Structure 1
């Protein structure tokens, strides 16, 4: 382990290693040059500083490897000891871990995965302070929204010269002259997904589907897993037709439930306000749904009243029924169905 004799030596060492640091802006985060290597995050910068401090030779993104499942993998660091190191801010165990394990098994190498907590422990014996290094990298980096957006960007309003465009065109032609590069480009999954998305086709991973049978038309239809217990019909049309098909203009059983409910809750019906309709009638809706499997409230109102009506008219109808059965009392004024005055 390398230790500095005093604070001045440590500062001189840091300054010597920081010479030539050039930071660029990327959409995804802090990216910049440390020496000859373009690092993509502050964590990679901290690890690179640690390796240099410990006099451990390293290269960054040394090579891209092709795996047997068609995925390409490029480890972050290759140490002089032959060990590969992957720096991850947030590690996706479902996606990243199988890829790393497959790379280890196919190429017979070892990959160490380091996250922020691991780097903090790693630099504890050194004079480095994690937050200082992180702030140092961020202060040099210029990312989207940090004094580099719009006319504050150094490249704002700068157009490429014809000479530069010719160089870019020549390099692109030279790359496509390589059959291996051209084949990889044409068969790239990202390129295929891009063209599919332009055509309106869905791209990416597709959630597993489960096949159900529509209770109305008896046709098969597919749903995702969390919809299995909720879907009974293949479409809204079948759902509406099923509700109408199960009911007729009148149903003595449903009418009996509504009349019994009205007699048991007659005082509530006469003092009920319009903004409390759902709260009072919900037990009746639940009972009819449980016994007759009818979900549509308008259908229930139509069965009881005998014609299409609103919940307000349904309330007036039940009031009239209670009045006809029990008669008007001195304390309760009867309200007819045609009366549209505000309730309460």
Structure 2
């Protein structure tokens, strides 16, 4: 079953179908419960357990944590619950799929049917990392004592030759920082090659544009200019080859009637396609005249070349 579906139930934002199933079980037997209403510090870290149960005087009596069937997550949760049980003198318990199946033996509905109902509900969706008040750590802050312990632990890591230190150094290197607050590589001001806006970049960078938009526009312009230049060169070469071919086949050109153009110029167009990759007569005509004037005008041009003894 997919336990990653989250949604609201009785005003609480539940992050899994297992949490929903446990809440339904509690309601079936009229057991008062609260969800993520208290935080604890466990080994210097903030911990917010799932279900909390209070007596009539508001004193915390029991904590229940709901976990998936992931063995590693279960072991970590047990360690935290054991710590809380000793430090805060509170009863703790952990529920996963196996434990939920056990308590649902006394329920009028099956565990799987309750989970299916939660998954198929219009009020739930696949749970992803959420921000704001729906995040379990929203508004939480470390105590001064915890901050001090974190600082001391970090100093120990920096003073030793540990894998953790290597990871921290690598992270700082990738972020461009040699250490907190200091810039590793010198920066400089540059002006965008397209819009001339000012931007700051590392001196070792080859960046010439202030943003992706300018870079893209410049690339389009360069590509267009290259295409136009290439097309102009091809057109010029096609025209020169037509003049050359006409010179070599002047008798055929002069004797060709205007109603039998295709058979005459087919060897020419085939050769143009072989040499320049162009077989569209409109493009060939444009290469000669600058615009498409058709086959007859092309033949007339070729006859004129021969008549003027150009060929």
TM-score above 0.5: no
Larger strand share, 1 or 2: 2
Structure of higher RCO (CA pairs closer than 8 Å, 6+ residues apart): 2
Q: TM-score, normalised by structure 2?
A: 0.39
| Rg larger for | 2
